[in-house]
A and B are shown apart, each in its own frame.
Chain A
C-alpha cells in the first residue's frame, strides 16, 4: 500500500518540484559568471580551431586584420561569417552588402528559436539586463545555458559568463589564424567540423525528460532531414525545430 501510495504521489511530487523551479525567479551573481565560463570549457578547443580557420580564410579573402577582429568581435557568429566569406568578393557593392546581410540572417535564423526558448527562464528579468546578454547568443552559449536551466538552475549569469568566455576566445584566437594562415591545420582532420553535432549530442542526453517529451524531438529530426534534402543552406534546423516543437505542444502532459 505504501508502495502504491508512493507510486501515485511520485508524479505529483515531480510536478511540484518542476513547478517550483519554474516559479523560482532568475537572478544574477558573480559566481555564476565564473561557473558559466567553466561550463563552456568543453567547447573552447573547437572554438579555437574554428576561429583560427576563419582567420586564415578572412586573410585569403583580403580582409585587413582590423576588419577580421572587428567582425569576430561584433558579429560573433562563426557559421554565418564563413558563409559570408563565400560571397565576399573584391570591391563590395551595395547589392553585395545587402545579400551578405540577408544570408547572415538566414544562417542565424536558428537564434530566433534559441532565444525564444530562453523566455520562460529569463522572462522575469528586466529587459535592459536580458537583451545585452542575448547579443552573446551562439550555439555554444545557448546549449550551455539551456542545459544548466534544464537541470533546475535559474542564475542568468551562467548565460552571460559562457557568452563572454566564448566571445573573448573567439576574438583573440582569430589573430594567430590570420597571421599564420599556413600553419593552421585542416579542422576536419581532428573532427572539429563535427563539433556542433557532437556537442549537441552530449547535451541532448542531459535534456532527456522521458519518451513522451521526445516525440516532438523525433518529429524535429525527421522533418529536418527531409528539409535538408529539399532546401539549401541551414533552413533544416529552423523548419525541423518549429514543426517538432509544435508537435510537442499538442502532446498533453
Chain B
C-alpha cells in the first residue's frame, strides 16, 4: 500500500474512506429500520440530543469563558429572534472579552 503511493497520500485516502463511512452509515441504517412511532420520536429527539451532548462537556471543560459565551448566545437568541449571526458574534465576543479579562 505504502509502496504504491506515498505515505501521506495513503493516510489521507484512509482518513477519507473512514470519514465517508461515518457520513453514510447512519443514514443507510435508518433506511433499514422500520419507522415506528418510537423510532420516529427517537429521530426527532436526536438533533437536539446531539447538540446538548456536544455543548455541555465542552463548556464544562472550558470553564468560565465558555459558560459566559454560551450564556450570552442563549440570551441573545431569545432577545434577537432568528438572528443567529448577531447571537454567535456576541457569544464569541463574550468569550474573547472574558479571556482578555483574565477569566
A residues lining the B interface (CB < 8 Å):
41-43, 46, 63-64, 67, 70-71, 74-77, 80-81, 84, 88, 91-94, 96-98, 100-102, 104-105, 108-120, 122-123, 130-131, 134-135, 137, 139, 143, 146, 150, 188-209, 213-214, 216-225, 227-228, 236-241, 244-251, 253
CA distance A185 to B18 in the complex (A): 31
A117 touches B77 (CB 8 A): no
- Report the minimal beta-carbon distance from A46 to chain B, rounded to whole angstroms: 8
Count of interface residues, chain B, beta-carbon cutoff 8 Å? 75
CA distance A136 to B59 in the complex (A): 26
Query: Which of A216, A236, A238 has the most C-beta atoms of chain B within 10 angstroms of its own C-beta?
Result: A216
A198 touches B92 (CB 8 A): yes
Residues of B within 8 A of A223 (CB): 53
Name the prevailing secondary structure of the A interface residues.
helix
B73 touches A74 (CB 8 A): no
Residues of A within 8 A of B76 (CB): 202
CA distance A116 to B45 in the complex (A): 12
B52 touches A224 (CB 8 A): yes
CA distance A237 to B57 in the complex (A): 9
- Report the minimal beta-carbon distance from B82 to chain A, rounded to whole angstroms: 7
Contact with A along B3-45 (1 / 0, CB 8 A): 0000111111111111111111111011100010111111111
Contact with A along B77-95 (1 / 0, CB 8 A): 1100010110111011111
Residues of B within 8 A of A116 (CB): 26-27, 29-30, 43, 46
With CB as the reference atom, state the residue of chain B lying closest to A215: B45
A108 touches B19 (CB 8 A): yes
A113 contacts which of B26, B31, B56 (Cβ < 8 Å)? Answer: B26
